[in-house]
């Protein structure tokens, strides 16, 4: 499952605490051309400045940016992450709850294949 940043960490946390983890998504977001998210999805990277700088109000009451890393430090800022289906209990769709298994997804959405 490719999703917003943070989904993977939430899924790991749920697994460690024996809590079921579901992802709600519409059928339009399924991409049946992609089988392996890690290998097949080019993960978007955003500007490193988004994670290297913090915005806040300085002592003069002005909105300012503050560098929170060493100036020469590189940074990676991914736009989304890949959550392995082994961490997902089910997919909540407009066609019901589906286990995150390719055969079951294909069965539920055969008209879209």
User: What CATH code is carried by the domain that includes residue 105?
Assistant: 3.40.50.10470
21 near 99, Cβ under 8 Å?
A: no
Please write the tens of the pLDDT for every residue from 62-113: 999 999 999 999 999 988 888 888 999 999 999 999 999 889 998 998 888 7
- Residues 53 and 23 both lie in one domain: no
- Residues 40 and 58 both lie in one domain: no
- Residues 73 and 57 both lie in one domain: yes
- Total tally of structural domains belonging to the chain: 2
- Residues 60 and 27 both lie in one domain: no
- Residues 36 and 85 both lie in one domain: yes
Query: β-strand 96-98 against 90-93: which pairing, if any?
Result: antiparallel
pTM more than 0.85: no
Going by C-beta distance under 8 Å and a sequence separation of 6 or more, which residues neighbour residue 92? 22, 23, 24, 25
Query: Which H/E stretch holds residue 104?
Result: helix 102-108
Q: Domain range spanning residue 5?
A: 1-44+81-113
């Amino acid at each position: 499952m490719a999703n917003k940043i943070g989904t993977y960490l939430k899924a790991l946390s749920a697994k460690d605490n024996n809590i079921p983890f579901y992802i709600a998504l519409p059928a339009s977001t399924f991409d049946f051309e992609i089988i392996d998210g890690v290998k097949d999805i080019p993960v978007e990277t955003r500007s490193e400045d988004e994670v290297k700088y913090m915005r806040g109000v300085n002592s003069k009451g002005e909105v300012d940016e503050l560098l929170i890393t060493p100036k020469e430090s590189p940074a990676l800022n991914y736009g989304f992450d890949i959550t392995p289906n082994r961490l997902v209990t089910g997919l909540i769709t407009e066609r019901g709850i589906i286990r995150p298994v390719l055969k079951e997804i294909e069965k539920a959405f055969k008209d879209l294949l």
